[in-house]
A and B are shown apart, each in its own frame.
Chain A
């Protein structure tokens, strides 16, 4: 049985290759035909989805075997003296899960885009980018070594850049795209450094080999300081995820990235690319595990901080997509701190469920935005529940899922993370997580109540979206409901397949789960009280804490700080150096030229044009040279004319 499975795994490279092929086809062949472009792209991603399902099925059937021994296929990519890099595919439960999530969400988004992007001039370009993105993301998931991962990591960054700036004529989109690329680049700098140091220390970048090399090196007592070295590496490598997954302080690009088309936000900036950082940490978990405990503690702390930080900003935002973006940041923080507290499978589980319900909500938001002709302020919306039933119901499912209501997907994943945090001895982080859960429920329901329940606005004429948009919503809603059930207690549950180190079977702690649910219900209730029943006035709260409101509204002024740094520090530095270059470096060059010219000007005075003068100088020189040779010392005397002239010797 394993044999035939391997035959299947041999072909795993087709999963990223098919969308790439579709990218090439669209770019070079079907560019002019809109219908063909989208057909090619969707067919490719659906085929990938089919293969991903087949692989996931095989992985589940293989059971323990594949958990212990991932199926790895490699081909040589770069081979020079002292540097050998392979490309390949790794199939283990982690990558199989990711493949399924990515292909599913990508397919849904591409189908959804048929409706959302209808009539857009850049249709073919859009689908080309989508295919390229899918290809890069899948290639990253399948990476067998850090360099391959890094390459695709950067390529998804490129696609993100291109898609955020898809409507390049909007200045805001252009700036957002630039910002996204630049911010993640800062993180990638650390990742690249970490990668280089890892290679120079252990001589390999292959995940399996690296892990083995590290453990041998740690066991070697003669090598002192390996643990410290690994810790430094871990921090450097972690900079990549900080940038990509929008952890504080490199989170600033994600809210701005909402300038892209909404399906793009759903796919890239909610479900797939932004979790790449989480995936990287999961893939490299051994690195953080081998490092000293501070590394994981740092991750946990930063994740928790990001979670509550972003959630607090989300509370006061008015743009529907920005609320979702801050919510994404907050949930990414959840996944990070889950990894930090050692809840490996909880984090991966949350990654999966979050992908479903956040994509769902983004697509729902897109549906709303399209219906309202690109209005994004939630206060311009209202009473959509009746006009857009499918969108409304599916969105409601998403809200319940993210608020952690049983039996929706978010309940199981969130609960597992929080329970693990407490059990592994991180009470503060647990408390932060719990409070974040409360905030999440609050601001999500605020969004829902204002948009769907509030008073209808007469200037809006909303209508339900076409089937191409509602079907993906329904499918994603389905997964948002049932997605969590795979972690129900049992032997072959999610944690059995996706775990790190020793397998612990943890039963759901119903007490803790109850607390989480209560926190969520509190949030929902508070939102209901404020925005539906108007028992508490939002304005009065704002009026009481104007400073806090302003701080939150402006996202703690992190953006302004960065802008200030870029403009004043970097720009100023550039200006100073440019001044230096033009005036000092160039000045020296020009100064030399001027000196040459000046001395020329001076010396040409000697060219009086008087031939007699020239002759005098000439003969004077003859006399002087004669004197030197006649009465000079040393070697010159060998040429003494008094001794050598006269007669043939």
Chain B
């Protein structure tokens, strides 16, 4: 059962990602992106990361993808069907990406010493478990991230609003 689900959603995620980078219409790209995020969220669930799956859906699919769509709408000029073109050297990019993938795959597949557990653990991964960690061991990074988030918020507002030209 798990295997089937995994393959379905893994293929979904990867195929959507393919769509993101190949689609000529940037709006389609954005929608494929949302789909890909959702596929990944399902993979999280399969790995007992329920809470993260929820976060993924909320932030990525619900937040980021939507924001991207808005940004596209704000900046869109010209023909929508050719809004997401490749540059002149995309062939090289493709080759390097493939080489990169081969490299990673080689490492992954040839390494036998992953120290994989005989049976993966099943408990944990819930919101309560993570919150415990965040408030104890990772408290300082947590606070730092909070500040970062605030600053990003302010920064985004300031940037997007633009500086007023003083008269």
User: Are A and B in contact, CB atoms below 8 Å, in the complex?
Assistant: yes
**Neighbour of A642 across the interface among B89, B92, B110, CB < 8 A:** B110
Given contacts A641-B107, A647-B113, A647-B114, contact A623 B89 (CB under 8 A): no
Contact status A642-B114, CB under 8 Å: no
A128 to chain B, nearest CB (A): 78
A residues near B, CB below 8 A? 612-613, 616, 619-620, 622-623, 626-627, 630, 641-642, 645-648
B76-104 to A contact mask, C-beta < 8 Å, 1/0: 00000000000101001100100110010
Q: Which residues of A contact B71 (CB under 8 A)?
A: none
Bound form: Cα–Cα A586–B100 in Å: 50
A645 contact set on B, CB distance < 8 A: 107, 111
Report yes or no: A626 in contact with B103, Cβ–Cβ below 8 A.
yes
Mask of B96-128 contacts with A, CB within 8 angstroms, 1/0 = 100110010011001111110000000000000
> Given contacts A619-B100, A623-B99, are A647 and B93 in contact (CB under 8 A)?
no
Whether A623 lies near B100 (C-beta < 8 A) is yes
| Given known A623-B99, A641-B107, contact A646–B113 (CB-CB < 8 A) | yes
Say whether, besides A612-B87, A641-B107, A646-B107, A623 and B114 are in contact (CB < 8 Å): no
A646 and B89 in contact, given A616-B96, A619-B100, A623-B99 (Cβ under 8 angstroms): no
CB–CB B115/A647 < 8 A = yes
* Cβ-closest chain B residue relative to A627: B103
> Is there an interface contact between B106 and A642, defined as CB atoms closer than 8 Å?
yes
Q: Which residues of B contact A620 (CB under 8 A)?
A: 96, 99
Contact sample, A vs B, 5 pairs, CB 8 Å cutoff: A612-B89, A620-B99, A642-B106, A645-B107, A647-B115
For chain B, residues 20 to 75, give those with C-beta under 8 angstroms from any C-beta of chain A: none
Docked complex Cα distance between A616 and B87 (Å): 13
A627: chain B residues at CB < 8 Å are: 103
The interface of chain B, by Cβ under 8 A from chain A, is 87, 89, 92-93, 96, 99-100, 103, 106-107, 110-115
Knowing A612-B87, A616-B93 touch, does A622 contact B110 (C-beta < 8 A)?
no
For the complex, would chain B's binding face be called helix, strand, loop or mixed by DSSP majority? helix
Interface of A is mostly: helix
Are B100 and A642 in contact, with the CB atoms below 8 A? no
**Do residues A623 and B103 form an inter-chain contact, with CB atoms below 8 A?**
yes
Chain A nearest CB from B130 CB (Å) reads: 24
- Decide yes or no: A616 and B114 within 8 Å by CB, A642-B107, A645-B107 being known contacts: no
In the complex, chain B residues whose CB is within 8 Å of the CB of A626 = 103
**Chain A residues in 8 Å Cβ range of B115:** 647-648
Instruction: Given A612-B87, A613-B89, A616-B89, check contact A647 B111 (CB 8 Å).
Output: yes
Q: A610: shortest Cβ distance to chain B, in Å?
A: 8
Q: How far is the CA of A630 from the CA of B89 in the complex (A)?
A: 28
Q: With CB as the reference atom, state the residue of chain B lying closest to A624.
A: B99
Contact across chains for A642 and B103 when beta carbons are under 8 A apart: no
Min distance, Cβ A584 to any Cβ of chain B, angstroms: 46
Chain A residues positioned under 8 Å from B107 (CB to CB): 641-642, 645-646
Residues A622 and B111 in contact, CB atoms below 8 Å apart: no
Once the chains are docked, how many angstroms separate the CA of A23 from the CA of B9?
A: 110
3 A-B pairs with least C-beta separation? A646-B111, A647-B113, A623-B99
Chain B residues, Cβ within 8 Å of A630: 106
Q: What chain A residues lie within 8 Å of B110 (beta carbons)?
A: 642
- Rounded to whole angstroms, the CA-CA distance of A613 and B88 in the bound complex is 11
Query: How far, in Å, is A616 (CB) from chain B's closest CB?
Result: 6
Q: Tell me the minimal C-beta distance from B92 to chain A in angstroms.
A: 6
CB nearest to B106 among chain A residues: A642
Question: Across the two chains, which residue of chain B brings its CB closest to A645?
Answer: B107
CA distance A645 to B89 in the complex (A): 32
Q: CA separation between A648 and B106, bound complex, in Å?
A: 19
Closest chain A CB from B114 CB (angstroms): 6
Contact of A646 among B92, B96, B99, B114 (CB under 8 A): B114
> Are B96 and A619 closer than 8 Å at their CB atoms?
yes
Please determine whether B96 and A623 come into contact, CB atoms closer than 8 angstroms. Answer: yes
Contact B100 A622 (CB under 8 A): yes
CA distance A613 to B110 in the complex (A): 31
Q: Note all chain A residues with C-beta closer than 8 A to B114.
A: 646-647
Nearest-Cβ distance from residue A76 to partner chain B, whole angstroms: 80
For the complex with contacts A616-B93, A622-B100, A627-B103, 11 further pairs of A-B residues with Cβ separation under 8 Å are A612-B89, A616-B89, A619-B96, A620-B96, A626-B103, A642-B107, A645-B107, A645-B111, A646-B107, A646-B111, A647-B113
Q: What residues of B have a CB within 8 angstroms of the CB of A642 in the complex?
A: 106-107, 110-111
Chain A residues near B103 (CB-CB < 8 A)? 623, 626-627
Residue ID in chain A nearest B115 by CB atoms: A647
Determine the chain B residues whose CB is within 8 A of the CB of A619 once the complex forms: 96, 100
**Minimal beta-carbon separation of B99 from chain A (angstroms):** 5
| A612→B110 CA distance, assembly (Å) | 31
A613 nearest CB across to chain B (Å): 7
Look across to chain B and name the residue whose beta carbon is closest to the beta carbon of A649.
B113
Task: Quote the shortest CB–CB distance from A114 to chain B (angstroms).
Answer: 90
Which residues on B sit within 8 Å (CB–CB) of A613?
Answer: 89
Smallest beta-carbon distance B111→chain A, Å: 4
Which chain B residues border A612 with CB–CB below 8 Å? Answer: 87, 89, 93
Minimal beta-carbon separation of B117 from chain A (angstroms): 13
Q: How many Å lie between the Cα of A619 and that of B103 in the bound state?
A: 11
Query: Which residues of B have CB within 8 Å of A641?
Result: 107
Closest Cβ–Cβ distance, residue B110 to chain A (whole Å): 5
On chain B, the residues within 8 Å of A646 by CB distance are: 107, 111-114
Cα-based distance from A620 to B96 in the complex (angstroms): 6
- B84 → chain A, closest Cβ, in Å? 15
Closest to B107 in A: A645
Query: Of all chain B residues, which has the CB nearest A622?
Result: B100
Complex: A623 Cα to B107 Cα, angstroms: 12
* Assembled-state Cα–Cα distance A626/B110 (Å): 14
CB neighbours (8 Å) of B87 from chain A are: 612
- Cα–Cα, bound, A130→B110 (Å): 101
Which A residues lie within 8 Å of B93 (CB)?
612, 616
Residues on B with beta carbons closer than 8 Å to the beta carbon of A616: 89, 92-93, 96
Residues of A contacting B96 in the complex (Cβ-Cβ under 8 angstroms) = 616, 619-620, 623
User: Which residues from chain B contact A648 at a C-beta distance below 8 Å?
Assistant: 115
Inter-chain CA distance A612–B114, complex, in Å, is 34
CB-defined contacts of A647 to chain B, threshold 8 Å: 111, 113-115
Q: How far is the CB of A642 from chain B (nearest CB, A)?
A: 5
Q: Which residues of A contact B100 (CB under 8 A)?
A: 619, 622-623
Complex: A647 Cα to B107 Cα, angstroms = 12
